[in-house]
Structure 1
Amino acid sequence: MIGWWIVVSTQSPEERDRADQEARRAAILAQWEAGADGIRWIERLTEAGKAARLAGGGYSNRYTARAGDVLPLI
């Protein structure tokens, strides 16, 4: 299957990179598997200026956004 594994975390990318596995798990708000169009929701937020793409081009794509913009969507 072509798709994405999506993780929504309270940690910033820098905090997530430094964290141990236990801290990473504790910071997860949601996670799910999605099909090929599964990141369209975050791309729409990026286009609207409500999210920023930090890394891309496949594995792994990273975005940052405010919880107030993400939580109503998930």
Structure 2
Amino acid sequence: MLGWEIFVYRPTAPDIFIARWMTSVFGLDWLDQLVKDNKVVDLGGGGYPNKYASTARVLLPIIKAGPPAHDSPLVIGDDYVLPQGWSSKVTWNKREVMACSANDQLMLEAWDKS
């Protein structure tokens, strides 16, 4: 396991992302906690991809603060190094973000980068 590439989108427009970023091995821990808190629904997927559902009210404030912090270890591959706790910056589709209302249903896909 190298990490995750994460995409947020509306279920009615799966080809148009709202936000996307990459994160390291434990970069989904925040989602696991939201599932336990009944704020996010885990739809399964086994990494190809993992799928989650929630509302814009839950997901967007968290993501707008930057990729959630995590305790991923240093990851060393054949031609790359990911520092401890690494996540990329979030890429936003500003038009899609502005079109979201708090009650909009959003999907989050996390693709295993192994």
TM-score (normalizing by structure 2)? 0.50
Larger RCO (alpha carbons 8 Å, 6+ apart) = 2
Residue 43 (structure 2) pairs with residue 41 (structure 1)? no
Instruction: Give unmatched runs, 5+ long, in structure 1.
Output: none
| Number of equivalences | 63
Match of 1:57 among 39, 46, 63: 46
Residue 10 (structure 2) pairs with residue 6 (structure 1)? no
Larger CA deviation: 55-64 vs 43-52:
55-64
**Aligned-partner SS, 1:71:** helix
Partner AA of 1:60 in structure 2: P
**Aligned-partner SS, 1:59:** coil
**Aligned-partner SS, 2:61:** coil
Shift of 1:72: 1.0
Partner AA of 1:4 in structure 2: W
Let me know the Cα RMSD of the aligned residues. Answer: 1.6
Shift of 1:58: 2.1
Partner deviation per Cα, 1:7-66 (whole Å, 9 max, x = no partner): 011x22xx45xx6xxxx13xx110001001111121111110001011232221000011
Give the Cα separation in 2 of the matches to 1:44 and 1:58: 17
Give the Cα separation in 2 of the matches to 1:54 and 1:68: 19
TM-score (normalizing by structure 1)? 0.74
Partner AA of 1:47 in structure 2: K
Aligned to 2:59: 70
Any runs of at least 4 consecutive aligned residues in structure 1 with deviations exceeding 4 A, and if so which? none
Instruction: Give unmatched runs, 5+ long, in structure 2.
Output: 64-114
